A and B are shown apart, each in its own frame.
Chain A
Amino acid sequence: MTATSRIATRFAALRRERRRGLVAFVTAGDPDPQASLAIVKGLPAAGADVIELGMPFSDPMADGPAIQASSLRAIRSGATLASTLALVATFRETDATTPIVLMGYYNPIYGYGVEAFVRDAAKAGADGLIIVDLPPEESEELRGPAANVGIDLIVLVAPTTGPARLPWVLKKASGFVYYVAVTGITGTKSAAAADVGRAVETLRRETKLPIAVGFGIRTAAQAEAVASHADAAVVGSALVGKIAENLDAAGKATPGVVPAVLGLVRELADGASRAKVA
């Protein structure tokens, strides 16, 4: 294991450059293996500072219609946990520095076997895990094995995470903290920037870790507003929505899909990097 992880290195660089970052989410295998690889490979050059790669699941309970549809497209095109890790490994052949955080639900990992999964994920070159339905109460069986292979289990903090609970949740954090800006599913409501500001301020008092803010960020202006309060803004539904817009009538990728997604990533990254750093 490297002494300093890619996640820590990337956020340290952002702070040094006094710049705010973009975490770009796409689902592995959406809309098909080739187009998905091309999108993921293009993300760093388009301005993504961290890649959040969705591990498709049939029943994504915390996700809105855009990511549900994305997950389903990926499953239909044959995506599995194994193919997701293979995508990471292929990406790593040409990019040794951009952090990759795998996002998904616990069931496929539990079925794969926790020890085998974290070992294979580390070998493929993944840096972090966000497991939506694994709150700190249930996460010990994954946290230890992940830590042993140098993978950060990223904690989520929500507007409902009260002051009594927050320090306990943050004690389990490593890598960065993901602040869920709204009470809701992905890709629906958007938070007021002022609310995000107050929430992040509270978090800063409790943790030195970088903070990324996601849920409901669709435009460059929103990315800028949110990123002005945090280390990075996370965008997901808007990007997979762009994939959906660039499919043909049969649901197959059109030649426009990769440039369309990467073009939006560019806009959002520019938005985030315009954010003023106090």
Chain B
Amino acid sequence: MIPLLFIISIVSFLLMTMAPGDPTAMFVNPESSKGAEQDLSAIRDKLGVDKPIYVQYAKWIKMIVLDGDFGYSFQDGRPVLEKIVERIPATLLLMGTAIFISFLIAIPIGIYSAVRQYSPLDNTFTFLSFLGISIPSFFFAIMMMLVFSLKLGWFPASNMRGDGGNLPTALDILYHLILPASVLAFGLVAQYSRFMRSSMLEVIHQDYIRTARAKGVTEGKVVFKHAFRNALLPIITLIGLQLPHLFGGALIIEQIFAWPGMGRLAIGSIFIRDYQVIMGVTMVTAVLVVIGNLLADILYAVVDPRIQYGKT
């Protein structure tokens, strides 16, 4: 696990520093007459970005390994960890809601589609899932915003909070959450339901299902007791793999709905080449991917007695 993270860090550091653009560019704005007459070489020296890449990397990895520190943002000098932690609640709320709702909706759809394969409703769901998978999220988000926010005026278009209207804070946040969470959920339901459908289909054609039916077990019991529980196994893996999304946020959706989460932090720091923050966000996500996979493997063993680790 450690060597893996190490390699990830090297690759991302290289990609980031070799990409064109200069972190000090944000200190000059040629569009403003109040142009900062800053000594850019001094800033480069302070940030250490004038050093060769391997020196920069050595400095960064030393800071991580020895001090357990993500360093300070180039932009405002705040600790990277503080900037990341500050974003977690917003992202967790948005992604958690979207993922939770998606599973709630996708699992019944998946089961139904498998049991009534090629029925008109299954075909409809299939059509909708392909739509959900293939519509670019930024387009769908803007459409939803135009329809539900601008035309119908049901939901706010941006941000996580209103400006102190009559709603209590929790309801206010919920009110702002609906639109971005639905857009995210639409895409996720599409994926999860396809996954559930195929997983369920695979199980339904197993011999023991036929045996159960042959024994005269009711169809409901066959589907939910025999088939569904077995079909859930791959879904559990899927849940484990959602962990990085849960904390990593949705880059595009957060940007469009001005949701103050990790995704926006990532995009913002990439645009201004804030290396420390980019690395911080990348590493947090990488760690979560690794943990998510590990968790999925462990869960798999827990729920499926056929799988055991360490014994051959």
Q: Determine if chain A interacts with chain B.
A: no
